[in-house]
Amino acid sequence: MTIGSARQARHAALRLAFGIMALIASIAHAFGPAQAADSAQERFACTKLPRNIWLPLSTIVERINEQGIDIASAKATIDDCYEVRMRLRDGTIRTVILHPVSGKPLD
C-alpha cells in the first residue's frame, strides 16, 4: 500500500466514523431524555390540583370494598394518582390507576 492510498483509506475510515457518530447523535436527539420525560409527564400526571381537595384514599378503598372487591394495596403515587391493587371477584389481581379527585379509573 502506498502512502497516498493509506492516507485515502484513513480519510475514508474517518468519514465513516464521523457519519456514524452524526447518526447516533441525531437518533439520541430524536429519542432523547427530554422527549421521554415530556411524554411520561403528559401520560402519568393525574392532576395538578392540591391534595387537600383529593378524595381520601380511605373513601376510595371503602367504595371498592362495597362492590365486593378485596384491596391488596392502595397508595398515592409520585405522579399524583391513586394506585390500587385489587383482587377481583373471579380471583384475578389487577392494578388500577385512579384520578384522586373523581376516583375514576384512568386506564
**Phi-psi category of 43—alpha, beta or left, where left has phi over 0 and alpha has psi -120 to 50?**
alpha
Residue 48, C-alpha cell as written in the block: 395538578
Q: What is the pTM of this model?
A: 0.56
| Of the listed ranges 16-20, 48-52, 63-67, the one predicted with least confidence | 16-20
What residues contact residue 34 under an 8 Å CB cut-off, 6+ apart? Answer: none
- What residue spans define the domains of the chain? 3-44, 51-98
Give 15-45 pLDDT, tens digit per residue.
Answer: 654 455 444 544 444 445 544 444 444 445 7
C-alpha 60, offset from chain centre: 24
Residue 47 CA to residue 50 CA, distance in Å, equals 8
